[in-house]
Structure 1
Amino acid sequence: MRSIKDSDPDLAVFLKLRMQEIFLRLKSQGWSDADIGVALDELIVRFERNREPEDMRLRLAM
């Protein structure tokens, strides 16, 4: 699967900014960098899982 950065650069920029916002918000609440990293990794995994069915439909349509 292509990366978000390659397939949708605008979405990649939006997600990067959103993740920075989430990082700063969690940091201000006292979360450790390691805990924030785990949480952001989980968000990425969930996002990718939610994208896969749509990508599969697009691949099948081609």
Structure 2
Amino acid sequence: MQSFPALGPLFHAFSYHGDLEGWRKDIEAGAEGIGLLLTRIEGDQFIIPMAARSLCQIAR
């Protein structure tokens, strides 16, 4: 079972270059393997997968 801070999960940014598709697949596989949630940014939107939304509190 995952343990989150009182206000919900925290997300950390990272960047990569080169083989973007390969990096994406490796990161997704690794996160799934250890039970981490992943999000992404598309334009100016922070995209949270539906499965993770119940775990989050969104502050605006």
TM-score, normalisation: structure 1: 0.30
Higher relative contact order (CA 8 A, sep 6+): 2
TM-score, normalisation: structure 2: 0.31
Higher helix proportion: 1
Higher alpha-carbon Rg: 1
